[in-house]
Amino acid sequence: MSDRSEWAELFLSSNGRLARTPFLIACAVILGVAVLYEAIAGYTLHWLTGWLVYPALLFSGACVLSKRLHDRGRSGWWSLLVLVAVIAVWPQPEHFLDFMFCLVIVWAVVELGVMGGEQGANRYGPNPLKAIAI
């Protein structure tokens, strides 16, 4: 993924499918940006710029999650459940209900980070691991 348009497609589009390794790299990038922003931004800067940073991170996260869910044969709308769970427990779980959100996150890690995608093409596109024959 060296081409600039491929990176923009990865983080700004929810169409198509995404293999496991690029998904894990994209998640690490999004999580790293969030942690770095939390570490750098002071209280005042956080309130001033957080309205721009967090929606951008959520949008990128939804796009990446949707593509990976498509690779597993699921609707991209499941990403909403995963993002709500992540928001609920960020930066750490504090309440009893957070236990349920943690279960959703564990499901997402296993479903999207451990299990492979569907073999062959599905309704969301061709298998991203197959080489395109010309």
Please report whether residue 2 resides in a domain: no
Q: What is the pLDDT of residues 5-45, one digit of tens each?
A: 788 889 999 999 999 999 999 999 999 998 899 888 877 78
φ, ψ of residue 125 to 5 degrees: the values are 140, -175
- How far is Cα 48 from Cα 70, in angstroms, rounded to an integer? 35
Please report whether residue 130 resides in a domain: no
Domain count, the chain: 1
Q: What is the pTM of this model?
A: 0.86
Helix crossing, 20-40 with 43-71: angle to 10°? Answer: 170
Please report whether residue 8 resides in a domain: no
Nearest to 19 by CA among 71, 64, 75, 65: 71
Please report whether residue 6 resides in a domain: no
- Domain range holding 59? 14-114
Nearest to 61 by CA among 92, 32, 39: 32
Residue 66 confidence class, pLDDT cut points 50, 70, 90: very high
Which residue blocks in 1-134 are alpha helix, DSSP H?
4-12, 20-40, 43-71, 78-89, 97-108
Whether 67 contacts 79, CB under 8 Å: no
Percentage of the chain lying above the pLDDT 90 cut: 56
Nearest to 122 by CA among 77, 74, 76, 73: 73
Residue 2 has pLDDT above 70, yes or no: no
Please report whether residue 107 resides in a domain: yes
Query: What is the number of other CB atoms lying within 10 angstroms of the CB of residue 70?
Result: 25
For position 18, what pLDDT does the model report? 93
- How far is Cα 11 from Cα 1, in angstroms, rounded to an integer? 12
